[in-house]
Amino acid sequence: MCGIVGYIGHRNAWDVIIKGLHRLEYRGYDSAGVALMNGDIKTYKKAGKVSDLENFAHDLDKSGSVGMGHTRWATHGAPSDRNSHPHYSGDGRLSIIHNGIIENYAVLKEALQLKGHEFRSDTDTEVLIHLIEEIQNSDGLELFEAVRVALHEVVGAYAIVVMSNEDPDVLIAARKGSPMVIGVGQDEYFIASDASPIVEYTKNVIYLKDNQIAYIKRDELVIKSTDNRIQTPYIQELELKLEMLEKGGFDHFMLKEIYEQPRSIKDCMRGRIYPNEGKIQLGGLNEYTEKLKNVDRIIIIACGTSWHAGLVAEYLIEEYGRVPVEVEYASEFRYRNPIISEKDIVIAISQSGETADTMAAIEMAKEKGATIFGVCNVVGSSIPRITHAGVYTHAGPEIGVASTKAFTAQVTVLTLIAFFIAEKRGTIKQSELVHLLTELEDVPGLVEKCLEANDHIVQIAEELKDSRNCLFLGRGTGFPVALEGALKLKEISYIHAEGYPAAEMKHGPIALIDEDMPVVVIATKNSSYEKVISNIQEVKARKGTVIAIVTEGDKDVTKMADYTIEIPNANEAFLPLLATVPLQLLSYHIAVMRGCNVDQPRNLAKSVTVE
Ligand code: F6R
């Protein structure tokens, strides 16, 4: 959570930082602040969005070419002006921004209070800057050393930037468990939680590693480990392009990302499928072929939308690879004492690659000897670093907080993994694989066709926008699609929504159905079509409004449903990639009609780096 930006160079630091904070707002948007070196440290901070901070500071002097900024998702302390970052030391000499959580802050705070420190905020972050101040005062250490020593006392996760009045041309940056990138320019350096604030200035970046601390001047960069060993920085070239971070004519990032799906699914398959030969190439997993051949069980761990992608994978891996699969919420799994053996493979799915619960679950499974594969979108994020192997989804940056193209990219990669396992284990005929891969290659074009229903979906959204509740039903791979449809609707429109396996409806949720209850049903022509028709009849008999996702040309469901949305006919294995798209559009339009902030829904953040 929280986004951080730092700058030292020859440009106006405020401009670089504010632009960067806008790019990072997906990480948190309940308060924002900037510190600029202008004679001494000048701090500007405000509860609310980055634009509120801009309005607040509109008429103030914002000169300076060294500074740092923060956009917050509150953990310790409510969103307020005083809890906003930057925080400063008791004497106002030092300033800090922080992304992460200092778990032992209460103990540290108590010890510092006994030494006379007084705190102005309720945050864990302020404790750290007082600790650095205390170390400097008592041990007479230089800033870099004082920060390094202080970090040894900290339990938890952090990405921090520190400034001092006494070292006006220096920024100190450090990370452990929270991401941090350093952009390398000509006599200038940029620091950020991801590369998006940096890309327009330089393509050369260093991904700081855990337990590294950087001393940064305009023309000097020294990186050490927190145990004081010099580190050689590895400068790499960014693949990210500026236009990927802009709305490109769409009203919202979410809509742009929905429309990007034909491209992102294609990118995800590029160089990985060879339909004519019936071959799948997943370079990251090649060396685990023997392991996959002999695996007894696969455990999938993830959170939220990524967990839904995991449920789709359960169907596909069991169907084609014939391996038992368990899908677990990472947050539950990590606190159980699960039975895991060295023969198990764990697949961790995460768009951001930073989700705290998923990371902790990976560490636990690793300790118990399992082999861990990652399915992540953000290149260079933390999860790919702690897994044994993995496959990137290559969906490009996802900025809308509600996940759309990342979900379909995850499902695409997991479909490839299912086929890869089946091929290696010999549980699929070569001719069937040729057939499936040939169809899969056509999926981006079919998603394009799904998007053509947009105008029709706007009309349905108009009818549903004032609903207070909504039920989503599906069977087979339609069930995770129903869960995902419900999650999208609740998170961006604040309409209460539930996803259910269609047959479970009669075990409880049917009691909710009356004329005020819209029910979205995944009713495409597949193996459970007849059964879903019965479920629709049960809803209609109780006067519920049915919105059905159907296969084009459908007659039976169309006769019964109040509204239908057609998707192209495709193999059942690819249903989630198609049926999810109209549900994304439906939620999007309902949320826009209700005046909701689609890209930044209340209380949410894009990467959940706290448990
Ligand atoms: C919903 C959504 C979240 C994430 C979840 C996991 O639209 O985006 O439910 O899916 O927070 O995040 P990642 O995939 O980054 O681990």
- Please tell me the residue having the least CA distance from ligand 1 atom 8: 403
The model's confidence at residue 73, banded by pLDDT at 50, 70 and 90, is confident
128 and 36, same domain (yes or no): yes
Q: What is the CA radius of gyration of the chain?
A: 25
Looking at the structure, tell me whether residues 112 and 187 fall in a common domain.
Answer: yes
Q: Which of 180-189, 214-223, 308-317, 595-604 has the lowest mean pLDDT?
A: 595-604
Residue 133 lies in a domain: yes
Residues 43 and 185 in one domain: yes
Catalytic entry in 2, 268, 376, 470 = 2
Q: Calculate the alpha carbon distances from 32 to 15, 52, 102, 103, 207 in Å.
A: 14, 8, 19, 22, 24
Q: One of 176, 405, 525, 606 is an active-site residue; which one? A: 606
Cα 244 to Cα 394: distance, rounded to the nearest angstrom: 12
Number of H helices, E strands in the chain: 19, 27
Residue 313 domain flag: yes
- The reported pLDDT for the residue numbered 605 is 76
- The one-character DSSP state at 203 is S
pLDDT at residue 506 is higher than 90 = no
CATH code, 507: 3.40.50.10490
In this prediction, residues 465-487 reach a mean pLDDT of 97
pLDDT band at 28 (very low <50, low <70, confident <90, very high): confident
Residue nearest to atom 5 of ligand 1 (CA): 304
H helix runs in 115-158, sequence order? 124-139, 143-152
What span, in angstroms and rounded, lies between the C-alpha atoms of 162 and 95? 6
Q: Are residues 473 and 365 in the same domain?
A: no
In a domain, 610, yes or no: no
Same domain, 115 and 155: yes
Q: Please give the backbone phi and psi of residue 459, each rounded to the nearest 5 degrees, phi first.
A: -65, -40
Mean pLDDT of the 206-235 span: 96
**pLDDT of the residue at 226:** 96
pTM summary value: 0.86
Given a contact cutoff of 8 angstroms between Cβ atoms, the answer to whether 190 and 201 are in contact is: yes
pLDDT at residue 316 greater than cutoff 90? yes
Angle, helices 261-269/430-451, rounded to nearest 10 degrees: 160
Task: Identify the pLDDT of residue 386.
Answer: 93
Evaluate whether residue 611 is within a structural domain. Answer: no
Last residue of a domain, one of 244, 279, 294: 244
Distance CA 567, CA 578 (A): 7
Asked if 403 and 497 sit in the same domain, the reply is no
Work out the pLDDT band at 239, boundaries 50, 70, 90.
confident
109: annotated active-site residue: no
d(CA 314, CA 118): 53
Give the per-residue pLDDT at 79: 87
Residue 29 reports pLDDT greater than 90: no
pLDDT tens digit sequence for 119-142: 999 999 999 999 999 999 999 999
Domain count, the chain: 3
Tell me whether residue 241 is one of the annotated catalytic residues: no
- Give pLDDT tens digits for 261-281: 999 999 999 999 999 999 999
What residues are in contact with ligand 1 under a 6 Å CB criterion? Answer: 303-306, 350-352, 355, 358, 402-403, 487, 491, 607-608
Report the nearest-CA residue for atom 3 of ligand 1.
304
For residue 379, pLDDT beyond 90? no
Residues 543-573 have pLDDT tens digits of 999 999 999 999 999 999 999 999 999 999 9
Nearest CA owner, ligand 1 atom 16: 350
Is residue 217, in this structure, part of any structural domain at all? yes
Domain boundary among 432, 451, 470: 451
Ligand 1 atom nearest to CA at 401:
8
- Residue 116's pLDDT is what? 97
Q: Residue 321: pLDDT above 90?
A: yes
- The average pLDDT across 349-372 equals 95
Three-state SS letters, 281-344? CCHHHHHHHHHHHHCCCEEEEECHHHHHHHHHHHHHHHHHHCCCEEEEEHHHHCCCCCCCCCCC
Statement to judge: residues 83 and 232 lie in one domain:
yes
Ligand 1 centroid distance, CA of 606 (Å) = 7
Residue 150 and residue 27 share a domain: yes
Query: Where among 219, 244, 269 does a domain terminate?
Result: 244
534 with 419, same domain: the answer is no
Task: Look over the chain and give the mean of its residue pLDDT values, rounded to a whole number.
Answer: 95
Tell whether 286 and 308 lie within a shared domain: yes
| pLDDT for residue 113 | 97
Tell me which residue range forms the domain holding 184. Answer: 3-244
Q: Give how far the C-alpha of residue 13 lies from the chain's centroid of Cα atoms, to the nearest Å.
A: 28
